[in-house]
Structure formats: C-alpha cells, structure tokens
Amino acid sequence: MEKGDLNISSIEKLSIARQMLAEAKSLDDILNIRDIAEAARVYAQAARLGLENQNEAAEIKIRAERRAGEMLAQMPKNKGADGSIVTGSTMEQVTVMDSTPTLADLGIERKQSFRWQMIASLPEDEFEEHIQETKAEGKEQTSAGVLKIVQKEKIAAAHDLRDATLRQNMGDKQHVKLIHGDMLDVMPTLGKFDLVVTDPPYGVTDYEWDILHTKEWLQAIIPHLADQYNLFWFCSPVYAADIELDMRALGLQIQSRIVWHRRNMAMGSAAKNKFIDTWEMIFHAGNRELNFPKDWSDAWFDVQEFAVPQTNFTDKKIHPTQKPEGLIQRLVEFGSYAGDHILDPFAGSGTAGAVCPDDRDVTLIEREDGYVGIAEVRLGIKRVQ
C-alpha cells in the first residue's frame, strides 16, 4: 500500500472512529482512536483538503483526549514501592511494588496526561459550546483552543475565590493601607511616620526586583520621618558597612546594630573558603525611646533568633525573601506606641500589616503587582491605587 493510500484510508476511517469513540470502554481503544484522528488531521492539512475536513478529524482527536483525561483522572495513582509488609505477627522489611500501571506503562507522557485531564475538567455544556462556536466561526479546532477556555475558567475561579476571601476578611485590617506603586513615586504624597520597619531589596539574588538603591530610598523617606521616630532597616551583611556609611552621611542616628540569627536557613552550606552565613543585619536608627515591655527578657537583646518562614510552618512562606512574623511584630511593637503611624515602603507580602496592632495605622507600599495581590488576600483589604 502506498503512503498516500494509507493517509486516504485514515480519512475514510473517521466516521468509523467517531462511532468507535462513543462505544470505547478501554484507555487503549481511546488512544488508538486519537492516533487515527490525528493521522487524518495531519493528512487533511498537508493535502489541503480544506478546514472542514481538517476540523472533523481534529474534533474526534479532541473528544478522544477528553475521554482519556476523564479515565486518567479516575485511575488510582501508582504509589511505587512499599518497604514493609505484615506476615503473621511480625513486620518484615520487603519491597512490594504497586501493580497499578504508571503513565510510562500506558505510553503516556506526564504533560499529555495533564493536558487531557485539563480538557476533561471543562463542563460538558461549555465544551460543546466551544466546539460548535469554532465550527460556526470557521476557525481551526485545536486542543490548545480548549485549554485556553479551561485556563480562563481557572483564572475566573481564582478571582472569585480572592474576592470572596476579601469580602470575608474585610474589616479585619482597616488600620492598614496598601498602596501599589514604586516608593520613590509614592513617598512625596504621604505624611509623617513615627516608625519605619522595612526589608528592602538586598542586591544579592537573581530576582529582577532585587536591586540595591539604599541612599536614594533613604533620601525619599527622611522628609517623612516624624520629629521623634524609630527606623529598622534590614540588609545583607555583604553591604552593611556601605549602608551604615550612607545612613551616617544622611544624618540618621544609629542606635543599634541588630543581628537576626536564622539557623534554619544557613546560606552557603557547601562553602570551602568562608564560614557559613546564618545571620542578617538590621540597622536601628532614631531619636525616640523604644517601647520595651515592663518585664525584662532576652527580647531586649541585639541578637534576635527567629526561623525563616517555610511552606510547612504556621508562618507560611509566600514571598522568596519573607521575614518572620514574630521578628517584624517585635520591631513594630518595640518601635512604636498606640496611635502611631507606621510605614513599610517595601511591603512584599504584607507581613508588617499582618502583625501591626489595631491601635496603630500602617501604610504598606509594594511595587510588584503579584505581591500586592498576595497581600490583599492575606490582609483582607484592597489596594488604594
């Protein structure tokens, strides 16, 4: 049989394939039908048989992928090897392999499985509406087109969830103002602040936003410091000396050099020519007494030990350079008094807003839209611009 004959045969099989798909019971049968339809689609496109013939094959292919996705979503997942089994009254360490077929056993790639299950997740009426609209508009039927609809559905659902969360939490953080913008643009529009607590970009990572402009930032903040103020400024030890010189040149009175000790995130563990990094610097500048609690404790020390937030902590990590809630809360409470105005011009995920007592107002500024969105959900507030 000539190659052309084989391709023509594939086209002729489409009507049979459509019927077979409706009756198919096994994943193998469905995958075979998908392959037939794809071969017919490719031939129709190459032979320029027209969009109608091409789409007839493409529709059967997409419907087969949808059926395959439905089956894959319902199949049990292979759990690999189990290292123990009970025999009689004892437990022996043996290797028991799960007999459930893996995707590799089925001849399916992970990416294919994911795409097909996404297509299957689209409600039946919306799937059929998309197929019919594509036909009516004379457009090409593709799996990618269906996936775009699914993605829009997921985005809309995510927005609905976010809005529902905002409505549910609204009112909890009315003392917090969240501003979306660059602090250099926003600061001239603001008033005076009794306390600044901020964790600006360090200039030590590959993140696009991690660029150090300490002197420029401080120059923007200084006109907005109250006559009596405190300021806590996080920085990397790498640039601590340079930043201190900048602070001195700008007339900021350094009162403390606080060490944040973070042993659960020791950087450079494979280092051969230096000691392992377990701390970061916090400069404390100001001219106002700290609001220490009456009872003395090691919270007064200039070494503060707090773990870095992790995804499995109560203090969950939702920003790549997030600082511990406990540490930020201590700085806020020790650095301010009831009725004070507090500023974090590099708010990230909004930790300062999350821990600020209700009897103080806090203004958060964040440039990155994604983190502003995270802070909105976390705090139950909407950005003001």
Instruction: Express each pLDDT in 163-184 by its tens digit.
Output: 565 555 555 677 999 999 999 9
Mean pLDDT of 12-22: 77
Q: Which of 11-15, 134-138, 184-188 has the weakest average pLDDT? A: 11-15
Rounded CA separation 177/344 (Å): 10
Structural domains counted in the chain: 2
**pLDDT above 80 for 265:** no
Buried b / exposed e along 183-215 (16+ C-beta atoms within 10 A) = beebbeebeebbbbbbbbbbeeeeeeeeebebe
- In the chain, what's the furthest Cα-to-Cα distance? 94
pLDDT digits (tens, 9 = 90+) for 250-264: 999 999 999 999 877
Position 83 in a domain: no
pLDDT greater at residue 13 or residue 11: 13
Record the tokens describing residue 44, joined without a space. Answer: 């129709």
Position 137 in a domain: yes
* Same domain membership, residue 176 and residue 157: no
* Same domain membership, residue 184 and residue 71: no
pLDDT digits (tens, 9 = 90+) for 38-57: 988 998 899 898 999 899 99
75, 103 Cβ separation under 8 angstroms: no
Rounded CA separation 140/134 (Å): 7
Q: pLDDT confidence of 155, banded at 50, 70, 90?
A: low
What dihedral angle (degrees, nearest 10) is formed by the CA atoms of 334, 335, 338, 342? Answer: -140
Q: Which of 141, 163, 185 is the last residue of a domain?
A: 163
**pLDDT above 60 for 79:** no
* Same domain membership, residue 350 and residue 246: yes
Position 19 in a domain: yes
Q: What is the pLDDT of residue 168?
A: 58
Position 81 in a domain: no
Mean pLDDT of 74-98: 56
Give the CATH number, domain containing residue 351: 3.40.50.150
Rounded CA separation 237/282 (Å): 9
**pLDDT above 50 for 192:** yes
Mean pLDDT of 177-193: 97
Q: What is the pLDDT of residue 270?
A: 56
* Same domain membership, residue 227 and residue 152: no
* Same domain membership, residue 219 and residue 364: yes
* Same domain membership, residue 198 and residue 128: no
Q: What is the pLDDT of residue 232?
A: 98
Q: What is the pLDDT of residue 6?
A: 40
Record the tokens describing residue 5, joined without a space. Answer: 């004959």
Q: pLDDT confidence of 267, banded at 50, 70, 90?
A: low
Q: What is the pLDDT of residue 200?
A: 95
* Same domain membership, residue 361 and residue 238: yes
**pLDDT above 60 for 97:** no
Position 384 in a domain: no
Position 90 in a domain: no
pLDDT greater at residue 315 or residue 382: 382
Q: What is the pLDDT of residue 289?
A: 97
| Mean pLDDT value across the chain | 85
Q: Which of 119, 146, 163 is the last residue of a domain?
A: 163
* Same domain membership, residue 175 and residue 131: no
Q: pLDDT confidence of 5, banded at 50, 70, 90?
A: very low
* Same domain membership, residue 261 and residue 145: no
* Same domain membership, residue 331 and residue 307: yes
Q: What is the pLDDT of residue 276?
A: 82
Q: 358 lies in which domain range?
A: 170-379
pLDDT digits (tens, 9 = 90+) for 309-365: 887 777 878 888 889 999 999 999 999 999 999 999 999 999 999 999 999 999 999
Mean pLDDT of 381-385: 86
Q: Which of 163, 187, 208 is the last residue of a domain?
A: 163
C-alpha 69 chain-centroid distance: 26
* Same domain membership, residue 282 and residue 213: yes
* Same domain membership, residue 147 and residue 116: yes
Position 89 in a domain: no
Position 114 in a domain: yes
